[in-house]
Amino acid sequence: MSRIRFTRRLPAAFTAAGLALAVAACGGESSTSSEGPAAAAADQLKPNADLSQQSLQITVWDGYTPKELPEKVKAKLKVKDMKVALHDTNEVAMTKLTAPGDSGIDVAFVSGQYAQALNAAGLLEPIHPELIPNLANLYPEATQLSYDKGNKYSVPYTWGTTGICYRKDLVKKVPDSWNDLLKPPAWADKKVTMMTTERWLALPAIKALGYSVNTDKDDEIAKVKDLLAAQKPHLLGYDDTTFGDKLTSGEAVMVEAWDGWCPTTDPKGNIGFANPKEGSDLWVDTMVIMKSSKNKEAAHALINYILDPEIHSWAAENINYKVPNKAAMERVSIPKGSLLDIKPAELLNGESIIDLGQASTKYTRLSTEITAQQ
């Protein structure tokens, strides 16, 4: 099973409030609310549209879909063409999707809170479930995601959680609390890493203090900052991409990690993953259809095709992330030590990270100040 590396979550510079201003500046109108029903009215689509007259362009993280996907889609759906644009971060994707004019993108892969912000800005086409019968393959829990209950404007592609990845043979105590990272014991001093991506940098301290992962209260964020500042002298460093390598080499003994990036299938079997007792998050990467798309029927057909169990299972088998597709996961042979067997009900114990609108800048400032401190 391969592990694709990319940075999926960068600073939330594109909040709902920021997107609303951007859309207005381009001469459009936008809702400024990130909650409630889809911000854009649904177009009238044709269930029996001739897809041979439509083309597709998607933007997705490199390695997040099969390289042969365009050829398979053209053969299966009979579309004229399919092009794949790549982004390495949510921020890069949002730059494409919010630029003045038509981006040319029909379907975009972005994380849940970014889909929420795009929808609030009126940039997404509501999902037409009658055009995606394979939605029936999703776990029931996949319809209960707090940023988009009922999958009104997004369809989940992968999901997971964040926890503590650790070397079983190098820790003197199996970690079970975020405080094991935040206040490392002497044997782990300067052998711990944290992620710098804003909401995930704050996550351990937020949960250790008993707050919501979506808190926007100044007094709570100030206490989070104090805890992270006190932790910093005891860190090996901040690392969003190579923490697994540091564990494998023994340079680190405990790291904050997304589950799919924790190398628990290491042949030596000495790497574990802990879900802290204070709780964690539920992250989701989604597929959305742009309101500007001129190929909306083909876009729905593409999502339906991806939700086919044979196609969707590729993600679990090749990028080591769980997919919210029950029929697809039933096809996956789960290796020993893999975290792919975490059940949907367990994932939903995590708190979904949602777009906080203008309040997201508080996390930008927090991250900048903590990582800049000497």
For residue 33, the model assigns a pLDDT of 43
Interval 247-259 mean pLDDT: 96
The interaxial angle of helices 90-98 and 112-120, nearest 10 deg, is 20
List Cβ neighbours of 164 (8 Å cut-off, separation of 6 or more).
175, 178, 180, 181, 254, 255, 256, 257, 273, 274, 276
Residues 141-192: pLDDT tens digits? 999 999 999 999 999 999 999 999 999 999 999 999 999 999 999 999 999 9
Residues 267-305: pLDDT tens digits? 899 999 999 999 999 999 999 999 999 999 999 999 999
For residue 19, the model assigns a pLDDT of 54
The interaxial angle of helices 218-231 and 361-372, nearest 10 deg, is 20
Tell me the residue type at 62. Answer: D
For residue 30, the model assigns a pLDDT of 42
Percent of the chain as helix, strand, coil, to the nearest 5:
40, 15, 45
Q: How far apart are CA 183 and CA 170, in angstroms?
A: 17
For residue 203, the model assigns a pLDDT of 98
In three-state secondary structure terms, 169 is: coil
> Which contiguous run of DSSP H or E holds residue 311?
helix 309-319
Greater pLDDT, 17 or 254: 254
The Cα angle at residue 332 between residues 311 and 165, in degrees rounded to 5: 110
pLDDT classification of 9: cutoffs 50, 70, 90? very low
Average per-residue pLDDT for the chain: 90
For residue 36, the model assigns a pLDDT of 45
Interval 239-262 mean pLDDT: 94
Q: For residue 217, what is the DSSP state?
A: -
The Cα angle at residue 241 between residues 237 and 243, in degrees rounded to 5: 55
Residues facing residue 281 across a β-bridge: 351
Structure tokens at 301: 């057909």
For residue 23, the model assigns a pLDDT of 43
Q: What percentage of the chain reaches a pLDDT higher than 90?
A: 80
Segment among 125-129, 149-153, 289-293, 316-320 with least mean pLDDT: 316-320
CA atoms within 13 A on the CB side of 184: 25
Q: What is the DSSP string of 188-200?
A: GTT-EEE--SHHH
Please check whether residue 202 is in contact with residue 366, taking contact to mean a CB–CB distance below 8 angstroms: yes
For residue 39, the model assigns a pLDDT of 64
Q: How far apart are CA 362 and CA 10, in angstroms?
A: 14
> Which contiguous run of DSSP H or E holds residue 75?
helix 69-77
Q: For residue 329, what is the DSSP state?
A: H
For residue 356, the model assigns a pLDDT of 93
- The closest alpha carbon to 147, from 81, 213, 94, 103, belongs to 213
On the question of pLDDT at 4 being above 50, the answer is no
On the question of pLDDT at 306 being above 70, the answer is yes
List Cβ neighbours of 224 (8 Å cut-off, separation of 6 or more).
202, 205, 206, 209, 211, 366
Residues 13-69: pLDDT tens digits? 445 445 544 443 333 444 444 444 446 788 899 999 999 999 999 999 999 999 999
Task: Label each residue of 247-268 as H, E or C.
Answer: HHHCCCCEEEEEHHHCCCCCCC
Q: How far apart are CA 5 and CA 64, in angstroms?
A: 9
In three-state secondary structure terms, 339 is: helix
On the question of pLDDT at 7 being above 60, the answer is no
In three-state secondary structure terms, 322 is: strand
Q: How far apart are CA 353 and CA 78, in angstroms?
A: 37
Q: What is the DSSP string of 17-60?
A: HHHHHHHHHTT-------SSS-SSPPP---TT--GGG--EEEEE
On the question of pLDDT at 11 being above 50, the answer is no
pLDDT classification of 101: cutoffs 50, 70, 90? confident
Q: From residue 159, how far is each of 27, 138, 258 by CA, in Å?
A: 35, 12, 10
Total number of residues shown for the chain: 374
